[in-house]
Structure 1
Amino acid sequence: MENDSVPQEITTLVGREVYTNSGVFLGEIEDLRLDLDEQQVTGLALHELNDELFAQEAASARGVIVPYRWVQAVGDIVIVNDLAERVQQAKVDDEDENEVRA
């Protein structure tokens, strides 16, 4: 990410949609996780989640937190790397493996 841009209020992130770098919608930023000692954003709290990716999380919680280190770009939308999709795929693979064992 560009560090030479004009600083913005972190609250401007709230309400922006979050997508993976391959174009998969993850959710909308509802809040931010901050490290007050380091004075930096450490995570994005998402709500309005993509039901296909986060069905279990959407049913049992208000949202999910995406680590800020996954963020690749911030503009009108936020782009995160595809680790989010890999994490979801790992869940699916684990569920499939458990079904085969049962």
Structure 2
Amino acid sequence: MLIRIVRMTFAPEQVPAFLKIFHRSQYQIRLMPGCRFLELWQDAEQPHIYCTHSHWESEEALNEYRRSELFGQVWPATKALFAAPAQAFSAHQVLPE
């Protein structure tokens, strides 16, 4: 499984527009092949900073989503609202022995 975190900084006045995009698309994203989990986090000290936390069956599943028509609509609309470049990384969970 691949865990994906994307940290996004918005101008405070752009937050409502971002939330509208996220709430409108979250269910479609969750239905994408290979998506097992998606949630949105808001920074506790800087409320204009959000992170998406998603789980994908594989890197290929994530890349398929990134090549999808849905991503082609959601990401450019979200990116247009940024106050700073997004920071994204992928990780694997380390299970206890």
Q: If the length of structure 1 is used for normalisation, what is the TM-score? A: 0.30
Q: If the length of structure 2 is used for normalisation, what is the TM-score? A: 0.31
Q: Which has the higher contact order (CA 8 A, sep 6+)?
A: 2
The structure where helix makes up a greater share of residues is: 2
